[in-house]
Amino acid sequence: MTYVGTTYIGNFMDKSLIFEVLDRVNRYLIQSDFPVRFVYLGKLEVGPGYLINIPVGGVQVKGYPLEAIIEALYAKLLQELNKDESFPMRRIFGLTTFPLVSRNKYFHMYDKFLGFQQEILGMKIMVLSMKPFESENKELMAERIFKGILHELGHSFDLDHCSGECVMNPPSTLEEWDERPPSYCPSCMRKLQSAVSAEIFLQK
């Protein structure tokens, strides 16, 4: 078994929605016979200085600098591992309530990211903004976040984007995302199962 530490960052008040989504993710992984489980680590507290104002269409929009959030998640993962180095948790997943942005190296502008992942010294750091998925329909919002988590999890096991009826098929619009099935296609599922098994074998 391998575990994914999970936290959220920001002022999101509906914790029940997060717990509902994580429970659904774990139930899906159990039903799919994936030896991967998400473990809730509590809220990741970051100072207000993490938020920056981004000019968008003549207004200021608050966002998180992607690099700072990645560093905070990595530090949180190391903190958890220091509690028990034998615990097989080499991944952490952060859900944020604000957009994720990163300054373009060549232009005075910011690039936006819905989800992102990075490997640091063998640790996989994943982050997903819930902001684009917001809806007054809580069931729809939970479905969108659920699929986003599966998508980033797939990437963390080296799955590429897929062109089929699959959660790994990236959408061009939110409407397309709503039409994506909340699951991996058979081909991506086989690749994922193989990657998970190989990783667990190497950890022994």
Residue 141 has pLDDT above 60, yes or no: yes
CATH number of the domain within which 76 lies: 3.40.390.10
Amino acid letter at 8? Answer: Y
This prediction has a pTM of 0.91
Provide the angle, in degrees to the nearest 10, between the axes of the packed helices 15-31 and 138-156: 50
Does the annotation mark 152 as catalytic? yes
Taking the alpha carbons of 193, 81, 144, 172 in that order, is the dihedral positive or negative?
negative
* Rounded mean pLDDT, 125-146: 94
Calculate mean pLDDT across residues 165-179.
95
pLDDT digits (tens, 9 = 90+) for 81-121: 998 877 789 999 999 988 888 876 655 556 677 899 899 99
Q: How confident is the model at residue 45 (pLDDT cuts 50, 70, 90)?
A: confident
Paired strand residues for 113: 100
- Tokens encoding 191: 């690749």
β-bridge partners, 52:
63
| Lowest mean per-residue pLDDT among 33-47, 49-63, 167-181 | 49-63
* Residue 144, pLDDT score: 96
Catalytic residue among 85, 119, 152, 175: 152
Whether 45 contacts 167, CB under 8 Å? no
The single-letter DSSP state of residue 161 is P
- Per DSSP, the three-state class of 57 is coil
Through-space distance between the first and last CA atoms of the chain, rounded to whole angstroms: 11
pLDDT score, position 86: 75
Q: How many domains does the chain have?
A: 1
Measured CA to CA in angstroms, residue 174 lies from 95, 114, 137 at distances of 18, 12, 14
pLDDT at 80 (0 to 100): 92
Mean pLDDT estimate for the chain: 89
Q: How confident is the model at residue 52 (pLDDT cuts 50, 70, 90)?
A: confident
At residue 186, φ and ψ (nearest 5 deg) are: -55, -40
Q: Say if CB 101 and CB 67 are below 8 A apart.
A: no
- Say whether pLDDT at 41 is over 60: yes
Domain that holds residue 51: 2-203
